């Protein structure tokens, strides 16, 4: 295969032609399995239809916009011309679930005219073997001034009434539990939203390459129609854009099974290639840090007698990381301002808290060969952060710090929504600014993941999920929550869930814990809702190139299960989804160099699964298996586990049990190294 080829294969219909001759067209996927048609109706509505073999996935679904000037450019439309092309490449990236990615699609670039105003815009359809994507493109001539979008009417009219996994739409947080019911019971959903049809076909709706545009939610309009609802400005406007401009891609992935959803590369393929000329400073890694004790309530972020971040404590973490081959350490609460929470300009991102010497800690980490990860909690005071970000990043650069974890907890200081256009532009500004200073980012309270890590590979990971912290101070996350994430939130890209808790019953700091938020009246009875082996497996099943081992050093020290975390390499080269069903279980294998790491988790139901190792290369391997003990159970006996070893080859198959809420983790190394 040529590394890149783009072939125009339908020149005959490219020119301006009459509406009658091109009022309906179709393209097929490269493998001929999917068929996409698009047409205008008698009253000028433009719609598209997606068929998988003989099965209708999307019935005719309308497209277009409503603008502030009163024009509804979703009706009275006429197709002016259609340009068809084909594209096929294999590209390579510095990091990712798979470092080599094939990008193959057939494209239809449809020019449409709004007849009453003679305005022209385009709808760009790309049809892959595993789904369809579309975006709107506004040329220079569309408008001289800003385009004010009041509504985007993109529809996804899903045929049948599939089983659906979704979370409620919220313009300010993605930290939600997932619902599981039929599509007709879905009200208003965030994306990704995943579905399984009665014939076994799986699909999910999402978007890609969100830049200068708000995050999309989807609202149930009845009859299977999910309509785009953009996160608005507080004045009700959805977006302000200026031509030339294109929207993010709206995408629907289609697969014969659940694992195909997880394996899809469509989202990253819809993003532009990397804009970074140099990126040798980017390094996937596992890390730990001063964080979990604050969520437990045994320490605090702010200065005082319960202060977590001190020079002495930071050095203890660094020593532990260095001794156990954990590459990175994050220190939260290192700076002043936590006692001014909610105030403007509370943080300056420069001044160390009393008892913490940033320069001393940075020098100590460098001496020990540990990457220090800075923490910038903004409290969503975006103007305050933007005013100081250059000085903050310059300090990181001076100290040799190449990673920053940002946070945006609380309401946005401007009164706008977290997922609206203003915040999307802010997050992008910080990503690009970080790249100027050779800084990787881990973004908490983010906008939606949409594959931008291809274009900006310093955007390593983001939260945007109801993660481990909720286990410390709320009713927690059920085992089915973490078996649903890979098929939902995980489809939006790297996910900083912060797994790896060994002390799942939270006994270690039980006497020191204090109430610090209002989620529960009494946090003394909280616990992690899984077995210990389930926690190990999450490092593999919930992908993040910056993967946190989030428990306390004293809980890891001397524990046999900690060996898996020490061995795990977050810089994987390829990934294989071995098996799984949405919300029930999943098994994923990831290769890093010559070694493989396998993780499997199950929901509240215990089960036994077969694992074939046909993803291995030739030769013999030693598999070290961390699995639930025979009497393990996430409720009654969550810490019972055992470690076994097996000699395996690519022809091997192992039958492995998982306790209720359990799992297993496997390290696979060549027998001869």
Helix (H) or strand (E) holding 462: strand 459-462
Cα 560 from Cα 594, distance rounded (Å): 23
SS3 sequence of 386-453: HHHHHHHHHHHHHHCCCEEEEECCCCCCCCCCCCCHHHHHHHHHHHHHHHHCCCEEEECCCCCCCCCC
Query: What one-character-per-residue DSSP string does 190-245 give?
Result: -SSEEEE-TTS-EEEEEEE---SSPPEEEEE-STTEEEEEEPPPTTS--EEE-SSE
Q: What is the CA radius of gyration of the chain?
A: 25
Q: How far is CA 207 from CA 5, 164, 452, in A?
A: 25, 18, 11
Tokens of 214: 């708000």
Closest CA to 361 of 290, 313, 304, 289: 313
* Catalytic residue list: 469
Total length of the chain = 673
SS3 sequence of 529-557: CCCHHHHHHHHHHCCCCEEECCCCHHHHC
Q: Which residues pair with 8 in a beta bridge?
A: 85
Closest CA to 477 of 488, 492, 466, 486: 466
Q: How far is CA 598 from CA 10, 406, 447, 448, 657, in A?
A: 46, 30, 30, 27, 14
Cα 215 from Cα 419, distance rounded (Å): 6
Tokens of 213: 């545009």
Helix (H) or strand (E) holding 616: none
Cα 33 from Cα 131, distance rounded (Å): 10
Cα 189 from Cα 204, distance rounded (Å): 12
Tokens of 315: 């050095």
Do 167 and 189 meet the contact criterion of CB atoms below 8 Å apart? yes
Do 172 and 417 meet the contact criterion of CB atoms below 8 Å apart? yes
Ramachandran assignment for 342, one of left (phi > 0), alpha (psi -120 to 50 degrees), beta (any other): left
Kindly tell me the burial class for residue 70, based on how many C-beta atoms sit within 10 Å of its own C-beta (0-12, 13-18, 19 or more). exposed
Give me the residue label for tokens 């190294």: 673
Do 87 and 174 meet the contact criterion of CB atoms below 8 Å apart? no
Tokens of 504: 């799942």
Cα 71 from Cα 643, distance rounded (Å): 66
């Amino acid at each position: 295969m040529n590394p890149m080829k783009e072939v125009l294969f339908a020149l005959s219909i490219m020119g301006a032609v009459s509406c009658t001759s091109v009022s309906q067209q179709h393209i097929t996927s490269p493998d001929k399995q999917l068929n996409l048609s698009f047409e205008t109706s008698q009253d000028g509505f433009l719609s598209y239809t997606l068929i998988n073999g003989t099965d209708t996935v999307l019935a005719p679904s309308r497209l277009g916009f409503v603008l502030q000037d009163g024009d509804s450019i979703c009706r009275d439309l006429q197709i002016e011309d259609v340009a068809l092309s084909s594209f096929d490449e294999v590209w390579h990236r510095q990091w990712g679930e798979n470092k080599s990615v094939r990008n193959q699609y057939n494209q239809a670039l449809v020019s449409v005219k709004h007849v009453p105003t003679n305005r022209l815009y385009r709808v760009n359809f790309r049809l892959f073997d595993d789904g369809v994507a579309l975006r709107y493109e506004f040329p220079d001539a569309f408008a001289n001034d800003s385009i004010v979008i009041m509504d985007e009417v993109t529809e996804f009219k899903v045929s049948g009434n599939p089983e659906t996994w979704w979370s409620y739409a919220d313009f300010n947080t993605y930290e939600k539990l997932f619902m599981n019911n039929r599509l007709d019971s879905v009200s208003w959903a965030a994306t990704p939203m995943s579905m399984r049809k009665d014939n076994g076909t799986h699909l999910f709706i999402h978007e890609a390459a969100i830049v200068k545009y708000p995050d999309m939610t989807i609202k149930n309009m009845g009859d299977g129609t999910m309509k785009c609802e953009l996160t608005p400005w507080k004045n009700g406007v959805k977006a302000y854009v200026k031509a030339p401009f294109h929207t993010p891609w709206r995408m629907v992935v289609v697969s014969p099974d659940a694992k195909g959803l997880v394996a899809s590369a469509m989202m990253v393929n819809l993003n532009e290639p990397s804009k970074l000329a140099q990126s040798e400073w980017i390094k996937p890694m596992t890390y730990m840090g001063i964080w979990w004790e604050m969520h437990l309530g045994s320490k605090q972020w702010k200065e005082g007698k319960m202060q977590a971040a001190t020079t002495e404590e930071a050095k203890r973490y660094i020593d532990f990381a260095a001794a156990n081959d954990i590459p990175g350490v994050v220190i939260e609460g290192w700076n002043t301002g936590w006692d001014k929470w909610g105030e403007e300009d509370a943080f300056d991102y420069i001044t160390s808290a009393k008892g913490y010497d940033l320069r001393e800690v940075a020098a100590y980490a460098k001496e020990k060969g540990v990457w220090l990860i800075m923490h910038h909690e903004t409290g969503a005071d975006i103007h305050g952060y933007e005013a100081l970000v250059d000085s903050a990043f310059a300090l990181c650069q001076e100290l040799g710090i190449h990673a920053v974890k940002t946070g945006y907890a609380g309401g946005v200081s401007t009164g706008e929504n977290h997922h609206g256009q203003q915040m999307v532009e802010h997050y992008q500004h910080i990503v690009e600014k970080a790249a100027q200073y050779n800084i990787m980012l881990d973004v908490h309270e983010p906008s939606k993941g949409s594959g931008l890590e291809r274009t900006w590979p310093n955007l390593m990971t983001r939260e945007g999920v109801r993660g481990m912290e909720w286990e410390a101070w709320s009713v927690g996350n059920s085992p089915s929550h973490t078996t649903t994430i890979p098929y939902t939130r995980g489809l939006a890209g790297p996910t900083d869930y912060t797994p790896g808790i060994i002390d799942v019953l939270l006994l270690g700091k039980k006497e020191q814990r204090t109430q610090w938020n209002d989620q529960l009246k009494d946090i003394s009875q909280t616990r992690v809702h899984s077995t210990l082996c389930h926690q190990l497996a999450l490092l593999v099943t919930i992908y993040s190139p910056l993967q946190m081992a989030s428990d306390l050093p004293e809980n890891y020290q001397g524990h046999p299960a900690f060996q898996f975390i020490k061995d795990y390499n977050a810089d994987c080269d390829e990934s294989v989804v071995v098996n799984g069903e949405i919300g029930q279980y999943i098994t994923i294998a990831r290769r890093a160099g010559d070694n493989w790491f396998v993780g499997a988790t199950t929901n509240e139901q215990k089960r036994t699964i077969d694992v074939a190792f046909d993803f291995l290369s030739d030769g013999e391997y030693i598999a070290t298996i961390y699995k639930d003990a025979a009497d393990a159970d996430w409720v009654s006996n969550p810490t019972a586990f055992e470690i076994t070893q097996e000699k395996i080859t690519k022809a091997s198959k192992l039958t492995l049990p998982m306790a209720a809420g359990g799992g297993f983790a496997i390290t696979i190394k060549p027998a001869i190294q």
